[in-house]
Structure 1
Amino acid sequence: MKFRPLHDRVLIKVLDSEEKTAGGIIIPDTAKEKPQEGEVVAVGPGSKNDNGKVAPMDVKVGDIVLFGKWSGTDVKIDGKEYSIMKESDIMGISKSKK
């Protein structure tokens, strides 16, 4: 991928939500909520602090992260759908790539 986020932004491949409930009921597309979990595809270099130094990012490519329901902006790159958001919109890392 040739896309590189700027500053403290993160490009996320949103993971699809479950199509069935625990009881086996199939959820139609119109009733599904926006997924809140995704895989980090690209990260920016970090934000600059008051002294002008770049603060490194806490997330890295391959991390599975949780984010707010209305966080980020949906974008299409090379025909694929992604979400781009600031690192501060990410609530936590659920699975880290080792």
Structure 2
Amino acid sequence: MALDSKDVSRIANLARLELKPAEEAAMLQQLNGFFSIVEQMSAVDTSGIEPLYTPLSAVQEVALRLRDDTVTETDGRAANQRSAPAVEDGLFLVPKVIEG
């Protein structure tokens, strides 16, 4: 996917950047270089390869430091909603703010 100067101008406009012609040409070259690398990476067959959860696991064994999935806090919904002006079925009721 190669970009042209029109694409770079549009991207710069969306990013609220004002590029000089020389800067636009340099940006065009950099963006096309980036997309070239992405195309090369997309061409690699990765079927059957497990995703890495960390790049370090490619070179060494890494133990995951995960905590147990247990409830550690009590349900404070009722206490939190006690001061609310309007509550229904455990939800805060708020006035409509969008006119339609």
Q: TM-score, normalised by structure 1?
A: 0.22
Higher helix share: 2
Higher relative contact order (CA 8 A, sep 6+): 1
Q: Which has the larger radius of gyration?
A: 2
**TM-score normalised per structure 2:** 0.22
